[in-house]
Amino acid sequence: MKYLYSLIFLCSFTMASAQPPEAINKFIGLPDTLVAHELRIYKKISTANGTDVFRLYETKNEGWAAELYLFYEAAGNKQRRYEKQVLKNLIDFDVIWFNITKTQVLHILPIDSFKYKFRRVDEILCEDDRYVYEQKIISISDGVSYNLFIRQGDKTNSVNYTNPKTLLKHYPGVDELEYFCEMLDVLNEGFDIWE
């Protein structure tokens, strides 16, 4: 019996099938462009009808601010609403921003650029006088998708990561996943969100 498998990701949700960020921005009243120092993350749980929008930004007049928008759109009837929460920082804003940029999210690549790192050979077998690879199949039926946008001065980046924490458990040592999950930990420590 041949044990050659390819990696399969089955997600019932991707950002492509959800409300695009521009549509959410328009409804909430957020600009599509980021200010000079801003992190914006759209978090979608596949089993929910809503999207969390986290925004951390600095303005010249007001200084740092952090907001969490809970955007909801009922399936089928297109009823939309949102709630805005002004987040209290548990750590100094400048330290939070420094820790975010330290995670390299300004430079991480889209997940499609490093999917090859998920192909690991668990065992090499000899069958019918030839060698074959045995690989495990990972199937994720639902999960969490993050659409990240960041700007620091002239540097910008945007990536979409689906299930980064679950993937990191299966593929420890993948730098990009480590950086992304570290950034999520910084947000949790700084604002007590998204455990």
List of domains in the chain: 15-191 (3.30.1560)
pLDDT band at 36 (very low <50, low <70, confident <90, very high): very high
Over pLDDT 70: what percentage of the chain?
83
- pLDDT tops 90 at residue 136: no
**Residue-wise DSSP of 111-139:** GGGGGGGG----EEEEETTEEEEE-----
Greater confidence (65 vs 119) lies with 65
Task: Round to whole Å and give the CA distance between 171 and 173.
Answer: 6
pLDDT (0 to 100) of residue 4:
28
Where are the strands (E) in the chain, listed by range? 37-45, 50-59, 63-73, 80-86, 123-127, 130-134, 144-152, 155-162
- pLDDT tops 60 at residue 112: yes
